[in-house]
Structure 1
Amino acid sequence: MAPRDMQPELNLLSRLRQGDEEAFAELYRRHKDAVYRFALLWTGSAATAADVTQEAFLAFIAKPAMYDPARGSFAAWLCGVARNFARKEAGLREDATDPGDLLADHALPEAFVENATPEVRLLADERADQVRTALAGVAPHYRDVLVLCELCDHSYAEAAQACGIDIGTVRSRLSRGRAQFAHQLSRLGLLAGSPRVKEAS
């Protein structure tokens, strides 16, 4: 039996599988901001994040049976789908994204995120651009768990589900991702007491 807190979502999924469009609209309303936030943090680009979010929901609506409640939460599964599309957008590279490739996206599309939270508004300022640049310098397989666990507040189990790895691997990747992220923040002069490192020309 599914946990009690998952039951309303499972009811919506059941209605969706029976063709209820309102059920999809409600699932979209509940999860679009979290998926978009994950995609924005992962890609560093508002335009790419919007595309990734759209692709994740289109993939789900095309085949809602792909989600298996026995394997974990719908939110974590949806972030896993978004992760796959974000990686595809990045060209399936395992190396870190070149921060120079980031688009100049300084604000979230207002129509996309309703009632922006303080966290989302923070992403729109200049400092958030620097943080996204630092995140882009983290290898994608470390960035996955770093964004899921540290920035999107998913549990290790949910991150493992989204990434298709075991919890021990989540822990080791998170540790390495934190180290790479700290190095990138230091390089950009964003850690307290760290002078900005000049890039060799």
Structure 2
Amino acid sequence: MMQVRAGNVLNIAGGLAIIGWPFAVWLALSYPHLSFLLPLLALCFVLRLAALRGKAGALSRAAQALAGVGVVLTLASFLLREAQLLLWYPLVVNIVMFVLFGASLFSRMPLIERLARLREGELSPAGIRYTRRVTQVWCGFFIVNGSISLWTCLHGDIHLWTLWNGLLSYMLMGMLFAGEWLVRLRVKQHHG
């Protein structure tokens, strides 16, 4: 029972680190006297690493790498008193996810197909084609999202950076998830 609660706390802390990153960065850059938030954010990423310890699979390894990058960026920013380093985390996330999804297109089974098989079991040939296409769509999303994230880093406007990386990119991701779910229902109905 205690182990389940500890796991939940670790997952919540890790989720807060991921979702709260843009806002913590905005606070740290806009209000330098709040730099004490950076070690707390690093701690959230350390807790995320702890929650992911022992988990296997490409997604878990990517999440572990991203949590490690989060720790390094927050601690380096705090120790070097250079908060601008924090701006690069969303770009790193997009690069890692693009590489993960893109590389899976060259394997026997793209990432989305693997995830679909966990829920659905066997897939029809149409389902396999569909999951490959969805993996390609996500690759496109990571390219566009990462490019805009890069632009916001280089542009230097923290409000614009926060708007994109803290709100708009999450909204677009949610719309992509919802849209894909609706299309999947139609595809399943048509080929089911």
Q: TM-score range by the shorter chain?
A: 0.3 to 0.5
Larger Rg over CA atoms: 2
- Bigger proportion of residues as helix: 2
Using the size of structure 2 for normalisation, the TM-score is 0.39
Using the size of structure 1 for normalisation, the TM-score is 0.38
